[in-house]
Structures are given as structure tokens and as C-alpha cells.
Amino acid sequence: MTRTSQLGSSPERSDAPAKTSGALRYTDDRVRPGTLHAAVLYSPHAHADIGRIDCAAALAFPGVRGAFTGADWPDVLIGLYMGDKPPLARGRVRYYGEPVAVVVADDEAAALEALRLIRADFTPLPALGSPREALAPGAPILHPDLGSYRRIAAILPEPGSNVANRSRIRKGDADAALASSPVVVEGEFSFPPGDHAAMEPRVAIAEFGLDGRLTVGSSTQSPFGVRTLLSKALGLPERDIEVIAAPVGGGFGGKAGIQLEPLACLLAMRFPGRPVRLANTREADMVSSPGRPGLQSRVRVGATREGMIQAMDMELLFDSGAYADYAVNVSRAAAVACTGPYNVPNVKADTLCVYTNHPFATAFRGFGHIELSYATERALDLLAARLGMDPLELRLKNAARPGHTTPTGATLDPNTGDLPACIARVRERLDWDAGRRAVLPDGRIRAKGIACFWKAPAIPTFTDAAATLSFAEDGSAVLATGVVELGQGSFDGLRLIVAEALGMDLAMVRVLRDADTDRSPHDWTTAASRSLFMAGRAALEAVADAVAQIKRVASAPLRCPEEDLEVSGGRVFLRDDPEQGLPLSTVVLGYVYPNGNAIGGPVIGRGRYIARGLSGMDPDTGEGRPGLEWTMGAEGVEVELDPRDGGFRVTKAACAMDVGRLIHPALARGQVVGAMGMGIGYATREAFVFDSRQGVQNGSLRDYKLLRYGEEPEYFADFVETPQGDGPYGARGLGEQGIIGMPGAIAQAASLAAGVELNELPLTPEHLWRAMREARS
Amino acid sequence: MKDYAGPIELSLRINGETRRVQARPGDSLLRLLRERLGLTGTKCGCENGDCGACTVLVDGAPIKSCMALAVECEGSDILTIEGLRGHPVQKAFAVENGFQCGFCTPGMILNAVALLSAHPEEDEEADREWMQSNICRCTGYEGIRLALASARRSLKD
Amino acid sequence: MMPNELRYLRPDSAEEAVAVWSAHTGARYLAGGTEIHTMARRSASYPVSALIDIKRIAEASALSIAKGRLTLGAALPLSAIADDGAFPLLTATIRGIADRTTRNRLSIGGNIAGMLPYREAILPLLLADALCLSIAPGSGSEPPLRREWRLRERFDKRLLLDPGELILSFSLPLAFAALPWSHRRRTRTGPVDYPLATLCLVRESGGFLLGVSGAHPYPVFASGADGAAALKALGAPKGDQRATAEYRAALMETMLSSALEELS
């Protein structure tokens, strides 16, 4: 009874019927009758003292049940790694869009109408518009209480300044190596903050039950994280909180932290027995809820005349906005990987998370790597130009390989992906050797660019996953994990892994859709591209456990030792005489003998996984092993530029990534292609535009432009398979990585086309036109 | 002349059925579908006419239901994703991975259904004109492009 | 969603519409509603107490060709006009506005008489010296006043309408639609965005007619013996969050030269 493997095939997604028929219910599709609706008043100032807030007229509006301000919860502070944010602003607002007051009413229309009756007075304060401004002597200190905030040990704030975290890398002797390097280049590279713009705006629906338990439905990537943080913020034990994560309409890191849930819960606790719905408008989702960080950076690279990199000295300043949220760890993750996937023997890096008066930043696809990659790749482009070397050759020459060490001094083990093979694939796809720059007959210029990337999950050392496998009467298997479906397709990867391990038809395996902290096994967070790896490992253990139980039960009626049995094809049978066996449907809920006697009972497989061998970082040198598995790859683009007006488009985008083992090729391609598309938006248009007082001028989809149909390039996605020894069937994470190299590759190509180094994003036509004009004069 | 004020009862033809429903004159078609009729397949992505997640067909034409009042649709045929059962476009989106998170998908599919009925032959310019009305944040549009091509093929067969 | 208490009125005739307008303070005419919905959400200073839906007034929703003139009902959605295609420059201009499914609602009258500064659809009509048929409430006990007027005569930065005046239709000579034309449109980045500049160029016997939207605070048009003269007559462009004035100026020059090239 041999079966062909289903791994590497691309069956239709299991959620396709639900998602194409409108049947899938996201969090906001689950509003019960009797629900109260909250509407929030947002700060019109980026930095201001709050004067009087008068809610009397709002409270008198028909249907209104309550109106609240920061003063209603004078002691509550929320944070992910550091508790620095009140649920509603207290005393002062620190960003444009910060929640200031909230109205709760029987219906949303009443809440919105009443909101317009609140009178709030503000006294504007000078607003900090960049990390460098915030670090300048005499800059206003945005968090005078920084020293007293509750935080985890890995985060290193500097009280008395606007530094929310500083991570240091000191590997070798960068100063000496730079001094002795025959070629040294230096550059500054920057871009403003922006937004995730997932299509589903964030929503939380909380109910404080009359039984004293708190239930929260939330569009979250992290139901267990939210439960823990709610427990801390509200003083309720975890056992009295249930967080339910329905499938999420796009996360991209933006829903990985704790966001609307605390305010929704605080409101629900004022109205026991009635659910309270707190739903973002699109504008609030973009500006009031967190976005992605901005960056200011400076990089120096020293190399030999042959182009071997000797040292890097870098400063990465992350614009965290008003609150630290995930950005403190984003800056830390950037330190871990700061050089990009290159062998750099001497590294000196300071990566800082800096408070400003911008909307606050959280995790974003790539988690610090898109930022560090843009800085290092641009610096390598300067180096290549100085050396007169092809930028691809420079990268190939310095590509990180097994045996090399990372910036934190961890040795790259034999599981490390094959970066040179990835570079070779991109070289081929873009026909790199046919020339990097050409002027077309109509005057437009075509140019190519390449960048490399690596990323390891930036996760706690004890990051976990778990799975249970149970069965239905028909012998079909049901996998439960705490993973949240965001569109990434982890469920289908897990389903293939379970089907493969059980030797079962895919149609006979289901993965439970909602993650629910009361029912699902514990799982750290659906982030860091680690679900397939970690939950996949847990699922494999659950299958093994279930198979052992099936064999134990079946061994009695089949009258044989357990070790002679095999499970496959929906049966348990004798390995050496496959005709003798039982269908799983007669075993998985217990076996019943003809006389009615029963044995066994329902089979429940149990599987667990916890990150292996991770350690923290030395606060002075960064030394340690904080990264689990490294996914590496190369990306390249071809662009076309009209030099007359800066008109610019990406015509080809290629990514080659070493994924260990392809589990579901179509979904893997979807992740890579989607990430490249998002990266094109990131590099060419997506950024907040601030006015002189740091108000956001483009905080809506009318003005904040995302890629549309027909603007996408021709995509190439290739996979190299160097097995990850400890990954499920050799697989490693791949969800985020495709975005990381895009800004660098696009900036390189655009710079080549324009004939001037472009060191700031976004690369809008006007930006290009201006740079070309300045270069000419 | 119609004159509606205060709470009203509307009679609307939705997915082939006549539905009587309580409404306010200010209720958008989107809110009415989701909040009063439980037709939550129509998604609210921006409520500002920018994203297309709320697209439904009114008398065959794709419109953004956040930008229309429910009362304006009296006498019209409204088709939401729930009324589109087993359409080749739905199948094509499933097979070609024309979705990931699925939030833009109902609006995207309904727009594509109308597009393919107006332009049964391959027409890149029409595809672009129509499909630029809907934002997808996940796919980079590759799967959607493939789904359109595949649906066109199967509609011809 | 309009959260406030709202009255919805749907008259069957133009006369009824203006009478209803007079009877309801704070009423607005509703055709596509795309701008009304956006404004109502965003701005507390945009009170709407009543909406008068004009889409079922036959003469405001008709598209006809008679006696050598094309007549376009003001409540017609932009898509209907573009798909009809009788005036190719208008079709091209309309296809730049918003996006297809929005244009399935957005009316030509709304685009031209709305609050946003772009009003791109007015450009081809201004160049064509189109006529506009409107109806306004009569003063006191006077009956409503219908009149037909040249669009150019009551356009100064925006359309100068009297209180309660409702545009019913536009008309233009078909012969104009047959003149050589060119259209260019540029945005800050993607296709679905307000224009940095939209340029409509028509060549007639005496020279060129040029209309531009997006580059100035309001639509502008001019004529000239050559394109450069017309462009100069339009005056200096504006700068805003989408683009600086100098970029717009440079853009308009390249757009004009490529448009002229197309017409040569």
C-alpha cells in the first residue's frame, strides 16, 4: 500500500469555498443583537496638552449609554514589551489620531452623532517629526516616566531621553577594520513611516459576562498574547479571559500586538452583560492604530579593493512614533540581522527605537529587516559603484554561507540556505548579464537592480506551538492549533503535513478555523513566519501520538503486536499482510467487538514544540543566539523610467528563496508574489505625508495609495530547497521574506536609470524628476 | 414622489427574493445588507468608496454599496456574493488562488462577474479599467489576473 | 452611512424637485452621492437634512442625439456617458475620474457642480462651448425658472449656480466631438487618484483649445494660435501635498508637447 506524497502538490485551499461564497465570518461579521457601539474622538494634534473635555451634551444624546476620557482609567497602562500607553490619552496627546474620548451608544449612528457634541480643548506643543529631531539636545521628552514603565528585560530604554530601546552589536573591531580598509563608503538612507493597510479594519467586540468572565472577539494575530496582556492591564486572571480570533482579513504584523482590545474590555466592564463593539474606521485604522516604523540610518562599509567586506559601522534609527509597542523589538531584531546576508567579520551597530510625535509603529511584514536591508543594500550599491563592480558580483562575493557568523556571533549551521544559488536564479530570470541599463527608442530608460535578504524569526527564546489531533466517526482527522488564519495559508500547509504523516487523503483532514484561547492549544503568536515550522512540528508530534494510540487499540482485535501495524490510506493494517486491517472509522473512537464490548475510546493526539537553543543578547555586544532558522534569498527588479517627468514603473520582479522544502508551491508563490507587490508599493508610494505640525495628510485610502490591478509587474518566484534539518519535512518560514529586498533592489535600479543615487523613499515620479534635475545642475 | 423620514420599511429585491426590512433613510446599502439582513459577505473596508470591498451588483452594474443609500435601490435587482451560487468566477478564484485573506474577495468576484459579462472576450484594457476599482492587499494581483483568464475560458465553454 | 436624521425625497419631475428644495432647508440634490457620502463622514460642517434624489427625473437621466447636438442628462452616471462614446474626448476624460465602479454612480452633474476642485468632466464641455439646461425655484409665488445658458458664461473657477438651481442636462454640437483631440492625465503615483494635471486639447480651425484640471485650484481653459500660447494663458500651477508647483509646470509642458505631437 504505497502512497505517493502530496507534499509539493498544490491542492485548492481549504478555505476557498468559504471565502469565495461570502460564507466566512470575520470578527465584525459576528455582531450580536443588543451590542453597544463605541465611537472614538481622535486627537487633531500631534502633540498637545489636553485641557477640558466636556462630554455633557454627548451624554444627553438619545441612545447614548456613556462617554469616557483618559481620566476614567487613571492607572491603566498598556504595552507589549513596555507599558507606556494609556487606553485613552491622559494629560497630553502624543500623536495625530490618538484616542481622546469615547462614546458608547445603543447603535453606531447615535454614537457618531453624539461624538460630534464633545468639546475638547488642546494647547498645542512643539511636535517631533523624526528620530534625529527627537535625539537632538533640548528636544522635548515625550515620556518623562520612561524609567518607571513596566517592561521586559530584553528591552533597554534610556530614561531622560526619547530612546525606547537601544540594541548594540559589537563584533570584532569595526573601528580598526574600517581604518585599515582601502575602500570605505558611507551613506545616509531614510524613509517616513507608513501603514499596513490590511483590507479588514481592526475590530474588537468585548463582553463582560454576568458570570464575571470576559470574552473578546478580535481581529488579532495573537489571541494568547492579547489574553496575557489584557490580564496584566485589567488585573483579571487569564482563566477569566477568553480571546477568540476569527480568520483575519490581512495582518502583515499590524494585528500582532494588543490594540483595540483593552479599551473595548474597559468599556465592556462598565456595561456587564452587553457586548461592546469597538471598530476602526479606515481612517482610524491607518492613523490611530499602529502602522509601520520609519527609518533614518547611516552606514559605513569598509572593503578590500577586491570587494571583500571588512567591516560595517551602522546606526539605524527607527521612528517608533508616540509609543513603543512592537517597535522596540523591531529595532532589536534589526540589530540581530543588521549586516544583511553577508559575511562581515567586524560589525559595530546601534539600532535605536526612538519616540517621535508620529503615529506609533508596530510589527510589519519583515520586522525590521526591510529597514536594515534598505540601508545595507544601498550602502553596498555605493561600494559597488566605488569599486566599479557589478552589484550582483559584490553580493555573490560576500554572500553568507554555513560556517560564517551572524552579527550576534551565532554560527550559520549546515541548515543555512544556499544564497549563491538564489542569486544565480535571479540573475537568470532578469537576464542580468545582458546588461543592466538600456535606453529605449522612445527615450525611456530600462534598468535592473538586485538585493539579497535574510531573516530569522525575532521571537522569545521560549516561543511555543501546540496541536491536538482528534477524529470524527467517519475516520476523518481534525487538527486544532492556536494559529490564526490571516490569508497566509498556514492551515493548508499544516493540512498537507498531517495528511502526509497520516498517509490520509487530504479531504479527510480538516484544520479548525477559529483560534480560541479557551479551546485551542497554546500558541505564541501568528507572526514571524514561524507557524508552518513550529505548528508543523507540533502537528507531526500529534500525528505520531495519535498513530501510536490507534495502533494500541487496533492491536487487540487484529491480534498482533503494535509494532507490526501501520496507519495509511484511512486504515490500520499489518505491515506484512496489508489485507488484514481495519478502517480508521472503527478504531478512532474506540473499537467495538461483535459482542458489544468496547475498548480504547476517542483517540486524541497531542503535539508540542518549543524553540530550540535560543538565547538572549548581551546588552553591550549583542552576542547570543536570538534567531531560530535563517531564510535567505535574492530579489531583483527591472524598472522603466521616463527621464522627462520621472514617470516610473516596475516591470519585472523576481525572487529566489531557499525555503528548505516546498510544502504547497502555489501558496508559497502566493506569499512571495504578494510580498513583492507590497514591496513595490512600499518603495514607490506608501508613506505618510506630514504637515509642519506632524499631522497626517494622507490618512485614508483616498490619499494613501496602494498598488492596483494592472500596476503589478511580471512576477518570477523561484525556490531553492536546502532542507532545514529540524523543520517539518525540511521546511522553513517564507511568509514575510519576499518584501525585504524590494526597496533596496528598486532603489538600485531607479538610481541606475536616473544616474543619481536615490537614498530616500518613496520613489515617486516627482522625487525622481527632482533628483535628476539636481544632479544635472 | 417618494418622501421618507424617520424609521421606514423598505421592500428590496435581493438575490432574487423580495425582502422587507426596517431602515433609516440615511442607511447605506452596505449597512443595510450587513446589519439588518445578515448578508455579511459584503465587506466594509473603508466606507469611503476607495477600496471596493463592498461592491455589489445593482441591476447588473457593480457599485460600491457604501456609497449608495438603501432607499435609492427600491425597484432594483441587488446581487450580493451570497446570491452568486457556484458561478465559474468563484471557482476560478478558488482554483487560481485569486485570494488570500479573502476580505476583498466578494467585491472582487462580483466586479469580475459583471466585467466578464460585459467583456466576454479577452480585453486587457477593460480588465484594467474595471478591476482597478478593487484593492487587494495580499496577492499582488497575480492570482486575480489568472482567475479572470480562467473564468473567461470556462464561461466560453 | 449618514448617521444623522435624514429625509429622503424622490421627485418625478424637475419642477417637483425645485419645489421640494424650497420647502426643505438644508436640502441637497442627490444623483450619484459619492461626494455626499464622503463629505458627510468626514466633515461635521457638512450638514445634510434632506436629500432630493433626481435620478428618476427623465430629462436628467436621458442621453440623446438630435438635430446635430448631443444631450447628456446631468444625473447620468459617468460610465454610461463614457460607454456611449459619442464624444470621445469626454469619454477619455471620464475614464480618468475615480474608478470604474465609482463612475457607475458618480454623475456628470455631480462631478461638475460638486465641492472637489477637480471637476475634470467640465473640461471637454467648456472646450465645446456646451449649453446647460437648468431649473431654479421661482422667487416668491413665481413658477420655477427654466433656462438654457452657455456653460462658459457662468463658469468662473466654479459653476455659479443660484440657490436651489438644478442642472438638468448639457448639450453640445456633435461637430465639435469630431474635431481632433488629445487627452493626458498624470497623478502622483497610481491610476486611481486625483490628477496632478489633466489636459484636454482640441485642434480647431483657428488654433488650439486647451483645458486643464488639477494643476490650478480650479479647472482652467484657454485658446491659442499654438499650444504653448494656450498653456501660457492658463497661468502658473499650484503646489500642494501631492506635488510642487514646479513639478506640475514641468509635467504640463511634457504632457502638452506629447499631446501636440499626437495631433500633428
Nearest to A768 by CA among A752, A741, A742, A750: A750
C-alpha cell at A7: 507534499
pLDDT at residue C1 in the model: 87
Taking only the tens place, the pLDDT of each residue in C7-40 is: 999 999 999 999 999 999 999 999 999 999 999 8
> CA geometry: angle at B75 spanning B70 and B80, to 5°?
60
CA distance B58 to chain C (A): 10
Amino acid identity for residue A763 in this structure: L
Could you name the CATH architecture of B8-80? Roll (3.10)
Cβ within 8 Å, pair B72-C100: no
Higher pLDDT, C200 or A154: C200
Identify the helix (H) or strand (E) that includes residue C228.
Answer: helix C227-234
pLDDT (tens digit per residue) in A673-682: 999 999 999 9
Percentages of chain A per state (helix, strand, coil), in multiples of 5: 30, 25, 45
Nearest by CB to residue C102, choosing from B26, B49, B69, is B49
Cα angle: C105, vertex C35, C202; to 5 degrees: 70
- CA–CA dist C144, C165 (Å, integer): 9
What is the Cα B136 distance to its own chain's centre? 14
CA separation, residue A428 to residues A377, A422, A439, A636 (Å): 20, 10, 21, 10
Residue-range domains of chain C with CATH: 7-175 (3.30.465.10), 180-263 (3.30.390.50)
A674 and B80 in contact by Cβ < 8 A?
no
**List of chain C residues whose C-beta atoms are within 8 Å of the C-beta of residue B72:** 30, 33, 53, 55
Residue-wise DSSP of A446-503: EEEEEEEEEE--B--TT-EEEEEEEE-TTS-EEEEESPPPSSS-HHHHHHHHHHHHHT
DSSP C237: P
**Residue pLDDT, tens place only, A530-580:** 999 999 999 999 999 999 999 999 999 999 999 999 999 999 999 999 999
- Residue A247 CA, distance from chain mean position: 16
Compute the nearest-CA separation of C99 from chain B (Å): 5
State the Cα–Cα distance between residues C148 and C133, nearest whole angstrom: 4
State chain A's maximal CA–CA distance in angstroms: 97
CB contact under 8 A, A199 and B135: yes
Please classify residue A179 by burial: count the beta carbons closer than 10 Å to its beta carbon, then call 0-12 exposed, 13-18 middle and 19+ buried.
exposed
* Closest A-chain CA to C3: A109
CA–CA distance, B50 with A650 (Å, rounded to integer): 23
Count the neighbouring beta carbons within 10 Å of the beta carbon of residue A691. Answer: 13
Chain A residues contacting C via beta carbons under 8 Å: 108-110, 112-113, 116, 281, 644-645, 647, 684-685, 689, 691, 697-698, 702-703, 705-708, 710-711, 762, 764-766, 769-770
| Residue recorded with cell 560564517 | A404
pLDDT of residue C140: 83
Mean pLDDT of A731-747: 96
Query: Are A706 and B102 an interchain contact pair (Cβ–Cβ within 8 Å)?
Result: no
Compute the average pLDDT of residues A456-476: 94
Which residues in C lie closer than 8 A to residue A116 (C-beta atoms)?
44
- Residue A3 confidence (pLDDT): 62
Instruction: Give start-end residues of each CATH 3.10.20.30 domain in chain B.
Output: 8-80
Residue A212 gets the label, from left (phi > 0), alpha (psi -120 to 50) or beta, of: left
Distance CA A254, CA A263 (A): 17
Residue type for A22, please?
G
Beta bridge partners of C136: C145
Query: CATH: 3.90.1170.50, 3.65.10.10, 3.20.20.70, 1.10.540.10. Which one for A32-124?
Result: 3.90.1170.50
DSSP C77-107: BHHHHHHH-SSHHHHHHHTTSS-HHHHTT-B
Here the cell at position A368 is: 525590521
The whole-angstrom distance between B33's CA and the closest CA on chain C is: 12
Question: pLDDT confidence of C44, banded at 50, 70, 90?
Answer: low
**Cell numbers 527621464 label which residue?**
A643
B-chain residues near C9 (CB < 8 A) = 1-4
For helices A765-776 and C245-263, the axis angle rounded to 10 degrees is 100
Q: Do A224 and A524 contact (CB within 8 A), yes or no? A: yes
Residue A44 is placed in which grid cell? 487633531
A777 pLDDT tier (thresholds 50, 70, 90)? confident
Find the farthest-apart pair of alpha carbons in chain C and give their distance in angstroms, rounded.
57
Which residue in the block uniquely carries the three cell numbers 457556484?
B86
Which helix H or strand E contains A300, and what residues bound it?
Answer: strand A294-303
Q: Up-side HSE of residue A153: CA atoms within 13 Å toward CB?
A: 7
Q: Does A702 touch chain B (CB under 8 A)?
A: yes
Total Cβ atoms within 10 A of residue A614: 19
> How many angstroms separate the CA of residue C248 from the nearest CA in chain A?
9
Rounded to a whole number of angstroms, the CA Rg of chain B reads 16
Say how far apart CA B110 and CA B112 lie, in whole Å.
5
Q: Which residue has the cell 472582487?
A: B108
8 Å CB contact of B133 and C41: no
Strands C145-150 and C181-186: unpaired
A732, A669, A672, A719: which is closest to A537 by C-alpha?
A: A732
In chain C, DSSP assigns E strands to 7-10, 27-30, 50-53, 63-66, 69-73, 131-136, 145-150, 155-156, 158-159, 166-173, 181-186, 197-204, 207-213, 220-224
User: Which residue, A341, A350, A209, A202, is CA-closest to A280?
Assistant: A202
CB contact under 8 A, B48 and A198: no
One-letter-per-residue 3-state SS of A209-257: CCCCCEEEEECCCCHHHHHHHHHHHHCCCHHHEEEEECCCCCCCCCCCC
Q: Say yes or no: C206 contacts chain A, CB-CB below 8 A.
A: no
Domain(s) labelled CATH 3.30.365.10 in chain A stretch across 16-23+463-610, 367-458+629-776
State the pLDDT at residue A1: 41
Q: For residue A123, how many other CB atoms are within 10 A of its CB?
A: 10
> Are the beta carbons of A486 and B101 separated by less than 8 Å?
yes
Is B64 within 8 Å of chain C by CB?
yes
Sorting pLDDT into bands at 50, 70 and 90, what band is A47?
Answer: very high
Residues of B in contact with C104 (CB under 8 A): 61-63
pLDDT on residue C45: 65
Which of A260, A277, A270, A258 minimizes the C-alpha distance to A206?
Answer: A277
Interchain contact, C3 vs A110, CB within 8 Å: yes
Closest Cβ opposite residue C95 in set B2, B71, B129: B129
**pLDDT tens column, A254-267:** 999 999 999 999 99
| Subunits adjacent to chain C (3 or more Cβ pairs under 8 Å) | A, B
The position carrying cell 500582532 is: A256
**Which tens digit of pLDDT belongs to each residue from C171-202?**
999 999 999 999 999 999 999 999 999 999 99
Q: Please answer yes or no on whether B68 and C33 come within 8 Å at the CB atom.
A: yes
**Would you call C191 and B55 a contact, using CB atoms and an 8 Å cutoff?**
no
Q: Which of A21, A247, A706 sits opposite B90 (nearest CB)?
A: A21
All residues of chain B having their beta carbon less than 8 Å from the beta carbon of residue A13 are 94, 97
What b/e string do you get for A460-469 counting C-beta neighbours within 10 Å, with b at 16 or more?
bbebbbbbbb
Cross-chain Cβ contact B140/A678 below 8 Å: yes
A690 close to A358: Cβ distance less than 8 angstroms: yes
Which pLDDT belongs to residue A5? Answer: 85
The minimal CB distance from C38 to the residues B4, B31, B48 is found for B48
Q: What is the CATH T-level fold of the domain B88-156, as seen in this structure?
A: DNA polymerase; domain 1 (1.10.150)
Question: What is the distance between the alpha carbons of residues A451 and A741, in angstroms, rounded to a whole number?
Answer: 5
| Residue A624 Rama label (left phi>0; alpha psi -120 to 50; beta) | left
Residue A392 has pLDDT above 50, yes or no: yes
* C-alpha distance from B79 to closest chain C C-alpha (Å): 15
pLDDT digits (tens, 9 = 90+) for A636-657: 999 999 999 999 999 999 999 9
**How does DSSP classify residue A292?**
B
Cβ neighbours of C139 (radius 10 Å): 9
Which residues 6+ apart lie within 8 Å of B45 measured at CB? A199, A200, A201, A282, A701, B51, B52, B53, B54, B103, B104, B107, B135
What secondary structure letter does DSSP report for A79?
-
Is C4 in Cβ contact with A113 (below 8 Å)? yes
Identify which of B41, B48, B140 has the shortest CB distance to residue A712: B140
Q: Which of A13, A21, A652, A671 to mutate to test the interface with B (most CBs of B within 10 A)?
A: A21
Q: pLDDT value at position B157?
A: 83
Interface touch B49/C1, C-beta < 8 Å: no
- Asked if C188 is an interface residue toward chain A (Cβ–Cβ < 8 A), one would say yes
pTM (predicted TM-score) = 0.97
| Cβ pair B43:A25 closer than 8 A | no
Query: Contact A766/C241, CB-based, under 8 Å?
Result: no
Q: Chain C within 8 Å of B54 (Cβ-Cβ)? A: no
Residues carrying CATH 3.90.1170.50, chain A = 32-124
Residues 6+ apart with CB under 8 A from C117: C217, C218
Q: pLDDT exceeding 90 applies to what percent of chain A?
A: 97
Contacts of C41 in chain A (CB under 8 A): 281
Q: Which residues of A touch B82 (CB under 8 A)?
A: 21-22
Is pLDDT above 90 for A458? no
Q: Which fold has domain A16-23+463-610?
A: Aldehyde Oxidoreductase; domain 4 (3.30.365)
Residues of chain B with CATH 1.10.150.120: 88-156
Chain A nearest C-alpha distance from B119 (Å): 17
Task: Pick the closest to residue A735 from A360, A566, A441, A484 (CA basis).
Answer: A484
Is the CB of residue C257 less than 8 Å from the CB of residue C174?
no
User: Rounded CA gap, A740 and A742, in Å?
Assistant: 6
Would you call A282 and B48 a contact, using CB atoms and an 8 Å cutoff? yes
A18 interfaces chain B, CB cutoff of 8 Å: yes
Contact A109 C1 (CB under 8 A): yes
Q: Are strands A648-658 and A714-720 parallel, antiparallel or unpaired?
A: parallel
Instruction: Give dist(CA A200, CA B122) in Å, integer.
Output: 31
CA distance A706 to chain C (A): 8
* Positions of chain B with pLDDT lower than 70, given as ranges: none
Kindly state whether B109 is in contact with chain C, defined as any CB-CB distance less than 8 angstroms: no
Euclidean distance between CA atoms C208 and C225, whole angstroms:
6
> Is the CB of B94 less than 8 angstroms away from the CB of A282?
no
Chains near A with 3+ CB pairs less than 8 A apart are B, C
Whole-number pLDDT of residue A600: 96
Considering only A300-304, A517-521, C37-41, C115-119, which range has the smallest mean pLDDT? C37-41
User: Hey, are the CB atoms on C190 and A707 less than 8 Å from each other?
Assistant: yes
Is 90 exceeded by the pLDDT of residue A4?
A: no
Query: Which architecture, in CATH terms, is A367-458+629-776?
Result: 2-Layer Sandwich (3.30)
Degrees to nearest 5, angle at CA C105 with C104 and C109 = 115
The answer to whether B51 contacts A12, with C-beta atoms less than 8 Å apart, is: no
What DSSP assignment string belongs to A347-388? EEEEEEEEE-SSPPB---TTTTHHHHHHHHHHHHHHHHHHHT
Q: Which of C192, C241, C254 minimises the CB distance to A644?
A: C254
